[in-house]
Amino acid sequence: KQEVTQIPAALSVPEGENLVLNCSFTDSAIYNLQWFRQDPGKGLTSLLLIQSSQREQTSGRLNASLDKSSGRSTLYIAASQPGDSATYLCAAYLETSGSRLTFGEGTQLTVNP
Amino acid sequence: DAGVIQSPRHEVTEMGQEVTLRCKPISGHDYLFWYRQTMMRGLELLIYFNNNVPIDDSGMPEDRFSAKMPNASFSTLKIQPSEPRDSAVYFCASSLAAGGAGGYTFGSGTRLTVV
């Protein structure tokens, strides 16, 4: 069974810091990788989608990279703000699973003012 | 587009009652997914459809759970009879094409509480 893992499980930083969230997957046969944000009691909001032919995607202060050979993706958040506090989930589309997403367990981020 | 629309947002029911959750995917999306989220198990895929046809229901926990997609714009997830352990947030998501092309879009979820 494909496993997607995220490190760390929780992270607390002061406002203004740059930070990196990590995601690893055990199967290099990956189509795409998608990063989501989930606020408490809310649904999942898509942040970035990296196609298998791409190495990174950027949106505002967010940058996500994908290294298929090493089975890793990182989400970089620049100049963090209290409003960034949420749980961040990475999810992989695997060649062996077609359109099914496999989710990591998430990183709970707290940005302190 | 209004996104993926789920109803109701919250549902509280008594054990043994039938519960029906509803989902309207994004128009033009050929794939529809039902997920369940709990603190203990995280996000679990229950079932997904392609062009209204169920493709994989291996995640459906028991025969008490059933899902239908009578047309491209509507799907239901039914639990009958409901049990307290079914309490969770149920999400519906849709995708444009295979392999997650264009990514997934999630609805806001239905928070189910079975007492």
Tens digit of each residue's pLDDT (9 = 90 or more) over A15-56 = 999 999 999 988 767 778 999 999 988 889 999 999 888 899
Q: What's the pLDDT score for residue A35?
A: 95
Categorize the per-residue pLDDT at A1 as very low, low, confident or very high, splitting at 50, 70 and 90.
low
Which residue of B33, B34, B106, B113 to mutate against A (max A Cβ within 10 Å)? B106
Q: What's the pLDDT score for residue A93?
A: 84
Nearest Cα neighbor of A113 from A9, A8, A12 is: A12
Per-residue pLDDT in tens (0 to 9) along chain B, 115 residues: 679 999 999 999 999 999 999 999 999 999 999 999 998 888 999 999 999 999 989 899 889 999 999 999 999 999 999 999 999 999 999 998 766 667 889 999 999 999 9
Min Cα separation B115/chain A (Å)? 19
What's the whole-number mean pLDDT along residues A59-68?
Answer: 94
Q: What's the pLDDT score for residue A99?
A: 63
Nearest Cα neighbor of B7 from B113, B107, B114 is: B107
Which residue of A2, A52, A93, A99 to mutate against B (max B Cβ within 10 Å)? A99
What's the whole-number mean pLDDT along residues A59-73?
Answer: 93
Q: What's the pLDDT score for residue B1?
A: 64
B109 touching A (Cβ < 8 Å): yes
Instruction: For the beta carbon of residue A11, count every other beta carbon within 10 angstroms.
Output: 17
Cα dist from A5 to A2, A8, A83, A110, B54, whole Å: 10, 9, 24, 19, 28
Q: What's the pLDDT score for residue A98?
A: 64
B40 touching A (Cβ < 8 Å): no
Q: What's the pLDDT score for residue B113?
A: 97
Looking at the partner chain, which of B91, B98, B106 has a beta carbon nearest the beta carbon of A98? B98
State percent of chain B over pLDDT 90.
80
Q: What's the pLDDT score for residue B42?
A: 87
**Burial (CB count within 10 angstroms: exposed 0-12, middle 13-18, buried 19+), residue A82:** exposed
Q: Please state, rounded to an integer, the average pLDDT across all residues of chain A.
A: 90
